[in-house]
Structure 1
């Protein structure tokens, strides 16, 4: 899928270096919102292995992993993942580079990626767990018409236990 400033593509081994660069260059920006990372997380070898694992999960219809890539195809500016595909449900996760926040790119991405998931995988409901203090993500998930389930879970995020609110969006 192509937009004015970026393309939305399924991950591919041709982007190993760009995937690695995305996480490495956005480390400080993303770490407060993500699980504590393994010591080798910020290495190319780690991201080659993880990308290969994700490609295998895509083949097994267990997950779908998208990248947002700039039009020059020399920089990944975000990721959008659908995991734990099972029984018509899945879980959404996403991140965007520090420099591309607030530009509407993730909104466009999730709107279109959700349609893809509903059509290709026959998904009926998409769930998302949002850290309650992540105001940008809460604003986005509400703008996307996800509804709070009223449920909360605690997860280990960046060496701390954080409260996540569970949201869901059903296939219209």
Structure 2
């Protein structure tokens, strides 16, 4: 990864964070702690500290350099606030050329179409410069909003996994979806 990855949408800037932006990530995590809790694994207190955020950013930059994962933030155009986050994770190359997409948005930015805008750019980037063939995204059946978002983005349901991920301390079922790059 020689050049920094940067995407723009009409209302956002999307990129990886730099280590010196740990406080920006800390602020997002703290402000959205309760909002995101229902959709994430249990978090330790260090997840909400500047040092924990610095270490997460370092690990994310290393994952991107190694082509293992890409933890993006979706920022306001001036870069002063994180609107949302998404990760292209669990990268598998070779004959699979695939990744998993995970995402979350700040409570105050829900319902404005910003997550769709960002993930539309993300999927185009995944099928373009990152050269993936398949992007997989899974959601809990009770998360109707996420299901509708993925459907609107062109993801298709491929299955149902019982007790798939441990979210907020409980093993939760998930609907499995994927989007395949168009042939061309």
Which among 37, 47, 50 is matched to residue 41 of structure 1? 47
Write the mapping of 1:34-113 to structure 2, written as runs, cut at 5 A. Answer: 34-87=40-93, 88-113=97-122
Q: Matches of 2:178 and 2:41 in 1, distance apart?
A: 21
Q: Is the 8 A contact 1:153 1:166 kept in 2?
A: no
Structure-2 residue corresponding to 1:4: 10
Q: Is residue 25 of structure 2 the alignment partner of residue 19 of structure 1? A: yes
Q: Deviations over 1:77-135 (max 9, x none)?
A: 10111001103010000111001011111111111111111122210000111011111
Q: Matches of 1:157 and 1:47 in 2, distance apart?
A: 20
Q: Matches of 1:14 and 1:52 in 2, distance apart?
A: 10
The gaps in structure 2 that reach 5 residues or longer are: 1-6
The gaps in structure 1 that reach 5 residues or longer are: none
Give the structure-1-normalised TM-score. 0.95
Structure 1 runs of 4+ aligned residues shifted over 3 Å read none
RMSD: 1.2
Give the structure-2-normalised TM-score. 0.89
Q: Deviations over 1:38-91 (max 9, x none)?
A: 232111111110110010000001111211111232111101110011030100
Structure-2 residue corresponding to 1:119: 128
SS in 2 for 1:120: coil
Q: CA deviation at 1:6?
A: 2.1
Which among 163, 168, 177 is matched to residue 158 of structure 1? 168
SS in 2 for 1:48: helix
